Structure 1
Amino acid sequence: MARDHVDTDPAALLAANTALPFERAEAMPPEVYTSQAFVEAELEHIFGKEWFCVGRASTLPEPGDYTTVDLAGQPVAVVRDRDGALRAVSNVCLHRMSTMLQGRGHTRAITCPYHGWTYNLDGRLRGAPGMGLNEGFCKQDYRLPQVRCEEWLGWVFVSLAPDAAPVAERYGKLLDLVGDFDMGGYVESFQETHVWDTNWKVLAENFMESYHLPVCHMGTIGGQVKLEEMVCPEGEENFNYHWILKDDSLDLALAHPTNTALKGDARRTTWLLSLYPGLFITLSPGYFWYLSLHPEGPGKVRILYGGGMAKEFAADANAQVHFDRLKALLDDVNVEDRGCTERVYKGLLSGLSRPGHLSHLERPNYEFAQYLNRRINGAA
């Protein structure tokens, strides 16, 4: 029989959970993952107010290139304007409120598929057939609502909050850690969208900690990990991080011979960067991959999954070989992660599920819980 999580306030349970010091920390209670009310609070207080990553700017190189996203219930289109700037607008027609652009692609204008109202790439109404007899209609009065949009280190972020602090201010301390990696110069090779049957936080926490790597990823990357060498420091207000020192069993995890910017251990260091609320980046000297997560109810998560190589590997004569090897490896890793995270969600729904104590290698999970509590419960 499934456990009843409805009668207990998950926000109060989270507050009690995060009141413990790290030395006594426990995993978050099941109700935090399984409650519909908690997801609604996350959409209102987190995804409706924070910056959300829609991918890499390099995937939108030409005027008219666009991508779309549903962010906390608001359809948004991100478009490369004719002046070369990226802008985000509401993806809802101002006539009878149909959604317009779908997925990713290229367009000369934003056209509503319902009645043909057409908008310029900056959101201004260009044409509205059959409206000449309405005396109150004035084309100049119509412009799609603008949504905050910023590019930083090659990433594109949008926010529904007009007063959100700039992305560079929010995540700027990352440059002290990985500035020498020149993350903005990495070349994206693929981008896909998936939906998994788990809670978004389960997948987020799975990315944050490498404690699971030797077991969950025994068939792929688990053998490259030495837990005794891993350091999980205290996180920052808006992100957490840890790093892994890789050996030479995967050359793409090391700096390319032509890379002169990275020195010493930095040439074999892989960073796991968790930018709250939903962008998770694995950054190695040779490649990167990322997940951008958005909840689709308690038991489903929408995943933007992408990755590619450092510019030195992308420019290598064997670039296609490198990419094919990387994509095959990352896909295998994702299969393993999907199995692990979907099993966790199934366990969270069970009547006998109880949170256990965290390992010192799960410090990022503790930091993430603190962030969630600040946003949901308004803690200082």
Structure 2
Amino acid sequence: MAALASSPDTGYEIARELRANCERPFEDARSMPPRVYTSDAFLALEQREIFSKEWLCVGRASALAKPGDYLTAQIDAQPIVVIRDEAGGLRAMSNVCLHRMSVLLEGRGNVRRIVCPYHAWNYALDGALAGAPMMERQPGFCKESYRLPSLRCETWQGWIYVTLNAVAPPVATQLAELTPLIEPYGMTDYVETFHEEHVWDTNWKILAENFMESYHLPMLHRATVGPHSRLEEMECPPGRAAFNYHWITKEASLPIGNAHPDNTRLQGHWRRTTALLAIYPTHLVTLTPGYFWYLLLQPRGVGQVQIRFGGGLSPEFINDPKAADYMATLKTLLDEVNAEDRRGVEAVFRGVHAPLAKPGNLSHLERPNYDFAHYVARRTAT
């Protein structure tokens, strides 16, 4: 291992370069070194030390409302399924058949049983093998010995988190400092109204960093939200171990950006305040008094990221007669903003490959990026 770590082409050497970069105080902070975004070896280190050990958000619990409702995801090489069981609980399990190891379910949907598309072995909603065609002819086969391996699955503020790590502290414990900061919004009761999946040609960390900072809004989003962005009024407090955040207080350009008249939870300036939350490693949420939208990121190599993109409304706006119109207007805006962000982050990914590329100073509005770099450096330390 020592010989491997000494090579400049390994993830370990790049991790050391990142840690050295993070030793600067925030007043002299730099962006992360280019190889952090372009190295296959560093991504392998991230998969091993971050994705295989951390809690990862996979979606909203309200999206799995009925028994048999499911969603699928992947942690590194492990396909998983989260499903609402017959008793109404959420279960996370391996999404791989115990026969010839085919992936079982794709996307989202509802099933009465989990049926393998290859040989029709099928499983109950609790993961127990319920049927295996013609296997009774094999004397060594025992149906009762087969059950899909389970994963830890927890919910926080209406979000579903899963992990491969048997000893990771509970999600609520890791986010204990965040809960009181956003509790008045009542995010648990926000209702998801749309969900999409996309693949962009960039590194997952470039997209995460783009979400975390608002410094780019006036320029990159000059045709959409940029003119409404007052950088001088933005607050970027120091981040915490498991997350970073910043606030924007404004008169929203959309009615649902401010609190609904029926909202009695939020008072004063909080009725006009948007929270931007980056929950490490890949859960990104814009939370306003009237709506939310989110990104969930999954690397597909160093140069592609799979994005789960969704959003919805607060309870008061869901019950408003104009809810559908409000949501349609919001979705149009979000699609335009996403198109702008895609152009931006794909341009950065092309740029970090340049031989003359090097990290520049961060602005005071990029404090979340500084904290995120420290998180990645801590998790990839050896």
TM score, norm. by length of structure 2 = 0.96
1:292 maps to 296
1:180 to 175, 178, 184: 184
1:372 maps to 376
1:153-178, CA deviations, whole angstroms, 9 ceiling, x for partnerless residues? 11011111111111111112212211
Deviation, 1:231, is 1.1
Deviation, 1:143, is 0.5
1:249 maps to 253
Deviation, 1:46, is 0.6
Please say if 1:311 is aligned against 2:311: no
1:154 maps to 158
Give me the whole-angstrom Cα distance separating, in 1, the residues matched to 2:26 and 2:62: 40
State whether residues 10 and 42 of structure 2, in contact with CA within 8 Å, keep that contact through their aligned partners in structure 1. Answer: no
1:121 maps to 125
Give me the whole-angstrom Cα distance separating, in 2, the residues matched to 1:92 and 1:166: 26
Deviation, 1:314, is 1.1
Secondary structure (helix, strand or coil) at the match of 1:184 reads helix
2:268 to 264, 269, 273: 264
Q: How does 1:73-112 map to 2 (within 5 A)?
A: 73-112=77-116
2:364 to 360, 364, 374: 360
For 2:333, the aligned partner's letter is L
Q: How does 1:1-380 map to 2 (within 5 A)?
A: 6=9, 9-378=13-382
Give me the whole-angstrom Cα distance separating, in 2, the residues matched to 1:252 and 1:120: 41
State whether residues 52 and 164 of structure 2, in contact with CA within 8 Å, keep that contact through their aligned partners in structure 1. Answer: yes
Secondary structure (helix, strand or coil) at the match of 2:294 reads strand
For 2:71, the aligned partner's letter is T
1:105-127, CA deviations, whole angstroms, 9 ceiling, x for partnerless residues? 11001111111111111110111
User: In the comparison of the two structures, how many residue pairs are matched?
Assistant: 374
Give me the whole-angstrom Cα distance separating, in 1, the residues matched to 2:198 and 2:293: 15
Deviation, 1:225, is 1.2
Give the direction of change, closer, same or farther, for the CA distance of 1:96–1:7 in structure 2 (3 Å limit).
closer
State whether residues 21 and 30 of structure 2, in contact with CA within 8 Å, keep that contact through their aligned partners in structure 1. Answer: yes
1:249-304, CA deviations, whole angstroms, 9 ceiling, x for partnerless residues? 32221111111111111011000000000000000101100001111111100101
Give the direction of change, closer, same or farther, for the CA distance of 1:326–1:127 in structure 2 (3 Å limit).
same
Deviation, 1:248, is 4.1
| More displaced stretch, 201-210 vs 305-314 | 305-314
For 1:249, the aligned partner's letter is S
1:325-346, CA deviations, whole angstroms, 9 ceiling, x for partnerless residues? 0100111110000000000000
For 2:166, the aligned partner's letter is P
State whether residues 81 and 93 of structure 2, in contact with CA within 8 Å, keep that contact through their aligned partners in structure 1. Answer: yes
1:223-252, CA deviations, whole angstroms, 9 ceiling, x for partnerless residues? 111111111111111000001111243222
Give me the whole-angstrom Cα distance separating, in 2, the residues matched to 1:91 and 1:187: 27
Structure 1, unmatched stretches of 5+, are none
Give me the whole-angstrom Cα distance separating, in 2, the residues matched to 1:83 and 1:261: 32
Give me the whole-angstrom Cα distance separating, in 1, the residues matched to 2:228 and 2:50: 35
Q: Quote the sequence identity (%).
A: 55
Give me the whole-angstrom Cα distance separating, in 2, the residues matched to 1:261 and 1:127: 50
Give me the whole-angstrom Cα distance separating, in 2, the residues matched to 1:260 and 1:90: 42
Give the direction of change, closer, same or farther, for the CA distance of 1:7–1:93 in structure 2 (3 Å limit).
closer
Secondary structure (helix, strand or coil) at the match of 1:281 reads strand
Give me the whole-angstrom Cα distance separating, in 1, the residues matched to 2:197 and 2:207: 15
1:64-108, CA deviations, whole angstroms, 9 ceiling, x for partnerless residues? 011101111100011100000010110111111111111111100
Give me the whole-angstrom Cα distance separating, in 2, the residues matched to 1:97 and 1:248: 50
Give me the whole-angstrom Cα distance separating, in 1, the residues matched to 2:87 and 2:313: 29
| More displaced stretch, 62-71 vs 126-135 | 126-135
Deviation, 1:136, is 1.8
Stretches of 4+ aligned residues off by more than 6 angstroms: none
